[in-house]
Amino acid sequence: MNADLSPELQKELLDDFYAEGEEHLKRIREALVLLEDSIGKAQADSAIVEELFRNFHSFKGISAIVGLRAAEELAHASEDYLRELTKGRTTVSSAGLDLLMGAAQKLEQIIVAFRAQAPTPNIAGLLASFKTLTGSAPEAPAPARESLPTAVTAGPEAQADEATARGLVIWRCTFIPTRELDARGVNVNSVRARLSAVGEILRATPQVLGAGQIAFEFLVGMRETPANIAKWDADGISAELVESAASEAPAAAPTAAIEHEPDANPFIAPSHVVRVDLNRLDELMRITGELVIHRSRFDDQLAQASRSSAGLDPRSLQEVNTAWARSLRELREAIMRVRLVPVAEIFARMPFVVRDLARETKKQVRLRLEGQQTELDKYLVERLKDPLLHLVRNAFSHGVESPEERRAAHKPEEAAIFLRASAVGDSVLIQVGDNGRGIDPQAVARKAAAQGIPVPDNLDHSALLKILCATGFSTRDDADMAAGRGVGMAVVWDTVRELGGSISLETELGRGTQFTLRLPLTLAIAETFIVSAAGQTCAIPQTYVTEILHLASDQIRTVNRVELAPYRSGLLPVTRLTSLFHLPASARAQHCLLVLHSDRGSSGLIVDKVHGQKEVVVRAIRDPLGQTPGIMGATELGDGRPVLILDGAHLTSGVVRPDLAPVSDTPSFTVDHGN
């Protein structure tokens, strides 16, 4: 890239590079998931391999433009392996797929580091592994002519320095597997588990020793030396103290592919950049043209009125207004579609997570993805990366059993974790589930009681979910790389609530668990009902309202401080809008009842009047001091009045309590929806 370019132009070009790089990585991840089906087959799917080759090649090209040499070399090495596949010289193996997945993860880390002007991650291990797999050294790509300055590559001693600063003593442990050790149950997985129990594994790198032999080198930070470390030699483990960070540089033998590094940022492209299909821009141009025509017609009406003593023609104005309103609605929908991106941007990352976890354990798990093309607002997709990551890791760690447990339960040894997305009206449902052991409510109750978390008498799915999402709660005594720290589900709960969504739980002991996230399609605009009571006007999203009924005051009954109204063949718990805002109740013989429904159940909202439907712009309340359960935001009506937008998910979950008195003895009610 020409250094004479202005900083503004360089920034714009780099933004394009980040956005295009993310697009290629997304396609690479999607293709790698499909390539897994070719493992062990005589011939890989040529269309998938070609898609991978094309995207790695394009990624190499754009990396050369900005002088990102490490990414260029790694993409080139990936091309070499894919070329071997296309020529039939090798077949897709699990090790080869792991290498390609590792390369995709490393490319993302390289760009994140480049964007943050941080040290470039080390790629020597991956390059050496590609060389071993292909049987020849990768051809080095031609150097870029002009480039932006790249960050200095960091040596592998950086992790050891950081660990030493935290007071850890660094040990290098080398394990050479043999058939005799494997027969005794000593293998790389058991060694890794042993080292994890006594310290923190900073790096794990296999080494090719030649003559078909391989060794595994672990760099481990320990707070104290294990008492039995001298006896590890009997299990093929040699341990030596690392005197300094510099002394732990990697050996000359080629190191293997998978190096565990901190997760990259959710997205490498800037948040303000959205790649838009040209057809959607054409649609915006068409609607803009219609608005210009409507404005011209309106100008003509004003001109005629100024020349005529009769003034404006109401009928003509109504026609212009109707056409204007229709075009504005189309414009709003088109702009919303521009902001929508497929959830595949985060779904495609999860197979990498599951494969990494499976590599660390003996569990056999297949991740099934459905509805990847379901579209969601870009802002929501970016915020959902961490919650979905926590849910998938929890499903693997807590839900999926070992092969031995599954055999004993007469289940297939390979468990399944599924990730589904679907559009339902103005909402998107995302489901994360497994066919594992399920959640034992009594075990959760015992853990919660031991940790001082209140446990209700009726431990239904809703109450169970609240315990699981409590900050610091975990059913594990010891944390591992997947779960056990007591923060994951709290992050899921808080993030989904901040996004105006809801989360529900279904579980059956021995059969599995499913979490369902319901999220608004977009946070920008919503169809609402405008309601009022005691002079207070509010809006409630139309997606939560299933029916609007008239209700007589004498039909409302109170049981244990909970108001109930007859609904079909059952009873419906109701909340008065006046009680919600602590307003004086109006003495009316008739009320309007809005029947609300969400994944959490059904309830009713009693108001004095429903003024009609209105499309409103949702303004989130960002100030923590202004955030109140039951209120999802605010908007402004056409007359300039600000009104609050009610949160239907909270109103149906029992979170909002108009009465400040204790409600521990409030019974739960099942709504019979009858025929």
Type of residue found at 308: S
Q: Is residue 165 classed exposed, middle or buried when 0-12, 13-18 and 19+ CB atoms within 10 A define those classes?
A: exposed
Nearest to 386 by CA among 267, 519, 505: 267
pLDDT of res. 137: 45
Residues 135, 143: Cα–Cα separation, whole Å: 24
Residues 85, 79: Cα–Cα separation, whole Å: 10
The two beta strands, 502-508 and 415-424, are unpaired
Task: At 36, list the tokens.
Answer: 């897994």
The dihedral sign for the CA sequence 90, 92, 93, 95: positive
User: Could you tell me the CA-to-CA distances from 240 to 220, 229, 233, 254, 511 in Å, in that order?
Assistant: 10, 10, 11, 21, 46
Nearest to 649 by CA among 500, 526, 523: 500
pLDDT of res. 562: 84
Q: Contact 430/421 with Cβ under 8 angstroms? A: yes
Task: At 460, list the tokens.
Answer: 């239904």
The dihedral sign for the CA sequence 582, 583, 588, 593: negative
Residue tagged 């991650």 (tokens): 121
Task: At 158, list the tokens.
Answer: 């950086």
Residues 559, 554: Cα–Cα separation, whole Å: 14
Residues 179, 186: Cα–Cα separation, whole Å: 9
Record the pTM: 0.58
Q: Contact 648/529 with Cβ under 8 angstroms? A: no
Residues in the chain: 675
Q: Is residue 669 classed exposed, middle or buried when 0-12, 13-18 and 19+ CB atoms within 10 A define those classes?
A: middle
Element (H, E) at 617: strand 609-617
Q: What is the 3-state secondary structure (H, E, C) of 479-494?
A: CCCCCCCCCHHHHHHH
Q: Contact 357/393 with Cβ under 8 angstroms? A: yes
For 324-362, letters b (16+ CB in 10 Å) and e give beebeebbbebbebebbbbbbbbbbbbbbbbbbbbebbe
The model's pLDDT over 506-551, given as tens digits with 9 standing for 90+, comes to 999 989 999 999 887 776 677 889 999 888 899 998 878 889 999 8
Q: Which residues of the chain have pLDDT under 50?
A: 2-5, 137-156, 244-266, 479-482, 484-486, 655-675
Q: What are phi and psi of 427, to 5 degrees?
A: -125, 165
DSSP codes of every residue in 175-216: E---HHHHHTT-SHHHHHHHHHHHSEEEEEEEEEEETTEEEE
Residues 335, 19: Cα–Cα separation, whole Å: 20
pLDDT of res. 176: 86
Task: At 44, list the tokens.
Answer: 């890989």
The model's pLDDT over 46-95, given as tens digits with 9 standing for 90+, comes to 888 888 988 898 888 888 877 888 889 999 999 888 888 887 777 888 88
The dihedral sign for the CA sequence 620, 466, 649, 515: positive
Nearest to 30 by CA among 373, 408, 272, 361: 373
pLDDT of res. 512: 92
Q: List residues bridging with 593 in a β-sheet.
A: 549, 606
Residues 529, 82: Cα–Cα separation, whole Å: 56
Q: Contact 540/524 with Cβ under 8 angstroms? A: no
Q: List residues bridging with 213 in a β-sheet.
A: 210
Residues 166, 199: Cα–Cα separation, whole Å: 13
**CB neighbours of residue 663 within 10 Å:** 12
Backbone angle region of 534, left / alpha / beta, with phi > 0 → left and psi within -120 to 50 → alpha: left
Angle CA(73)–CA(75)–CA(79) in degrees, nearest 5? 110
Please give the order of strands across the beta sheet that includes 200-210.
Answer: 200-210, 213-222, 169-175, 237-241
Nearest to 241 by CA among 226, 258, 261, 251: 226
Coil, strand or helix at 33: helix
Q: Is residue 603 classed exposed, middle or buried when 0-12, 13-18 and 19+ CB atoms within 10 A define those classes?
A: buried
